Amino acid sequence: MSKEARLGAVSAEPDAEVRADHRIGLPAIFAAFFWLGVTSFGGNTAAWLYYQIVQRRHWVTDAEFLSDVALGRIAPGSGGVNLTVQVGQRLRGGAGAATAVVGLLSGPLVIVLALAAAYTRIGWSPAAHAVLDGIAAAAIGLTFATGLKLLPSGSARLGPLAVTLATVLCVGVLRWPMLPVVLGLAPISIGLALVQGRNA
Amino acid sequence: MPDDFRTLLALVLVFVPLSLLSIGGGASLLADMEHQSVTVHRWTTAREFADLFAISRAAPGPGTMLSTLIGWKAAGCTGALTATVALYLPSSLLVYGAARLWGRWRGSVWHAAVERGLAPIAAGLILSGGVAVLRVSPGGAAVWMAAVAATVLLLRWPWLHPLALFAASGALFGLVGLW
């Protein structure tokens, strides 16, 4: 195997340091996103990706991750798939993006078909429902923990924190459509970042 | 034109536009899928569609694998693959193009400001996503409590592996459900 693949294998270890100047191998990208796909429950791909790709593997930074989350949600399509495309692109260009998406989707594709086939034979037990509820609850917990960890920090955090709060209020609590909320808040937040960048 | 080819073509013609029009997440997408697969093309009955939706929520993965199941009902495994690619490829190409264009401005003052400006919004969207899933969860108060407990545990002990927590919570709910 190539040097890249070996690097990828090393980087799959927990707490491994991945150096930004080394490119990460496609097999490692596939393996990481395949695992991500089959273990992301309850629509929390972003939170899970943060844990696996950012915190454990350090393949992208917090700032890059957040920027990709935002664009992924504004663009059409699934936010989780869009995020994966962008992170894959950062890691290894077009090939990285394609590998990451195929890795992410191939496991769930097989599992969902197997579930559907099993369902048509044996039906659905109440216990299975309960287990799924339990998994979903913990997955939602991971989503909240991730969002809270990524709250704006630093000395000039009051403005950004207000933007986060406004986003949660409008989209999460009041259930306004996401796109107009983001398009309304983005100019304010970007303006704030420009002003703070100038003062810094 | 053979029949199965015609079905595959119909799947592509249904899911490609949905891919590019599904801005802001799943709710509007779901209504359109239901209309197309139950009323227009009769790939599923209304009851089958509801069952497939429940199954797609039970499976892991990003967002909806419902298109996969509709494709499967319509044309077997080829249909499943066709519908999945038709739903995810166009939006992925669009995002890929946008990300590449955006990358060209890296290093400019504007690029940095936009990325820093979007970060607090992204954090808010992640939290809102949790609230949204919680709201549609059929599990009720127990799910709310378990979600809050999991949040506290993960923040307090960051070394805790989320999968261990998923398994523990699933087992706990299963046991209570059986009993």
Concatenated DSSP letters for B42-73? -SS-HHHHHHHHHHHHHS-SSS--HHHHHHHH
The CB-based long-range contact list for A97-102 (8 Å cut-off, 24+ gap) reads A97/B92, A97/B96, A99/A26, A99/A29, A99/A30, A99/A33, A100/A29, A100/A30, A100/A33, A101/A33, A101/B88, A101/B92, A102/A30
Are the beta carbons of A68 and B99 separated by less than 8 Å?
Answer: yes
What domain range includes position A10?
3-150
Nearest to A189 among B72, B121, B155 (CB): B121
Question: Do A102 and A181 belong to one domain?
Answer: no
Q: How confident is the model at residue B46 (pLDDT cuts 50, 70, 90)?
A: confident
Residues of B in contact with A94 (CB under 8 A): 96
Question: Do B21 and B59 belong to one domain?
Answer: yes
Question: Do A62 and A82 belong to one domain?
Answer: yes
Question: Do A157 and A142 belong to one domain?
Answer: no
Question: Do A139 and A173 belong to one domain?
Answer: no
Question: Do A125 and A172 belong to one domain?
Answer: no
Question: Do B64 and B95 belong to one domain?
Answer: yes
Question: Do A8 and A41 belong to one domain?
Answer: yes
Question: Do B92 and B17 belong to one domain?
Answer: yes
Nearest to A75 among B63, B98, B130 (CB): B98
Average pLDDT, chain B: 88
Question: Do A131 and A169 belong to one domain?
Answer: no
Question: Do A196 and A140 belong to one domain?
Answer: no
Residue of B32 and A142 predicted with greater confidence: A142
Question: Do A144 and A175 belong to one domain?
Answer: no
For residue B1, what pLDDT is reported? 55
Whether the predicted pLDDT of A16 surpasses 50: no
What domain range includes position B114?
108-136
Are the beta carbons of B133 and A44 separated by less than 8 Å?
Answer: yes
- How many A/B residue pairs have CB atoms within 8 Å? 359
Residue-level length of chain B = 179
Residues of B in contact with A86 (CB under 8 A): 95-96, 99
For residue A10, what pLDDT is reported? 40
Count up the domains in chain B and report the number: 3
**Phi, psi (degrees; rounded to nearest 5) at B41:** -100, -15
Are the beta carbons of B122 and A70 separated by less than 8 Å?
Answer: yes
For residue B57, what pLDDT is reported? 75
User: What is the arithmetic mean of pLDDT over A108-119?
Assistant: 90
Count up the domains in chain A and report the number: 2
Question: Do B93 and B147 belong to one domain?
Answer: no
pLDDT digits (tens, 9 = 90+) for B148-158: 999 999 999 98
Which of A106-110, B20-24, B126-130 has the largest mean confidence? A106-110
Question: Do B77 and B153 belong to one domain?
Answer: no
Question: Do A146 and A157 belong to one domain?
Answer: no
For residue A28, what pLDDT is reported? 96
Question: Do B80 and B126 belong to one domain?
Answer: no
Whether the predicted pLDDT of A190 surpasses 70: yes
pLDDT digits (tens, 9 = 90+) for A51-64: 999 999 999 999 99
Q: How confident is the model at residue A123 (pLDDT cuts 50, 70, 90)?
A: low
Question: Do A82 and A8 belong to one domain?
Answer: yes
Question: Do B82 and B97 belong to one domain?
Answer: yes
As a whole-number percent, the residues of chain A with pLDDT over 70 amount to 86
Question: Do A134 and A84 belong to one domain?
Answer: yes
